[in-house]
Structure 1
Amino acid sequence: MAAKHFADPTKYHLAPHGFWKRFRDATVLNPNISSGLPIASLNRYPQPGSRPEKYATPTTKASDPAQNPYHRRDFRRAYPQLSTISQQTMTSLLLQTPVLAAIHSPEAAAEAEKETPGATQLPVPLPETLPDLTVALQELSEKEKLFDAAKQRLPPQPPRVRKWKGMQPGEVVPRDPHAYFPMELFK
């Protein structure tokens, strides 16, 4: 029969001495079980609170209150902001594409083609006065079709709002005719 091996109960835990050791040996079922009271000098070394130096929070950019105002940290009120695009901004964005830049300034596009034939062209610098948005869109539509079903370039569609049609009975589920809660399907 193999001998039972136990951990030394006095290695990391307090053990009674004298009368209380004899009392414990007489009353406890397994005297090799530890008391459960750890020896403070061996359990956590160094002990909490025994170190002379004090903890200091490291300084970061967020530590400076002058550079970290509350409104930048307050995410509870970070509501989505509306953004608007004026017609002038939209025209400048459209004219910065290479196709529209070539439409808007054919002379500059021809000169760039002569200098480096076949190279990808950078957008031509925009003039001081931009044409109206409708004029830019009209020039683009004359040069190339904006929306083409064959090329899978379809115009954007407004979202569809489905109207409530009400619940209609669906397939019949086989069930007990006297069921307390019968299962029914609806479309």
Structure 2
Amino acid sequence: MATKKAAESTLYHLSPKGFWKKFREVAAVNSEISSGLPIASVNRYPQPGSRPEKYSTPATKASDPAQNPYWKRDVRRAYPQLSVVTQPELSSLLIEHSQPQAVSAPAQGEGESSIPAAPKEVLDLAAAIATVTGSTKVYTETQLPPSLPTSFKRWIPERAPDAPHAEHTYWPMVMWK
């Protein structure tokens, strides 16, 4: 029984007929090679464009002109918004968050507030930093300040074995890993 060793070149491709078939046999270097033009009914089924229904874009909020004004779509003018924290605000935040917050039991009456609001004193930023660092030690050997994240490992130099050279010759080069 003979088995097919190679793919048939004309099975899924158009082949010329009539005059162009004879012309191809005479003019082509290898007339058995495929034309490269796929048969549409065999290559892609169903063929593109053969479906009777037409595509319609689904209605979304963005397709409604009343709900989608130009200034919301214009990304060229989406400038970053500035955020400003003044020194008195920063000093009050530092003092508020330096002490652990105490959580009290829930009050019996709904309208009552169990914790009276402390009056906010405005301190200079240097004085606020001095009070926070004076009461508690901010950084210790176990609690270090945050460091910048890096995507590479820090190089720690280690001595590597020397390059091959004669035992009693002067060799000034030192190798490091």
TM-score (norm 2): 0.49
If the length of structure 1 is used for normalisation, what is the TM-score?
A: 0.47
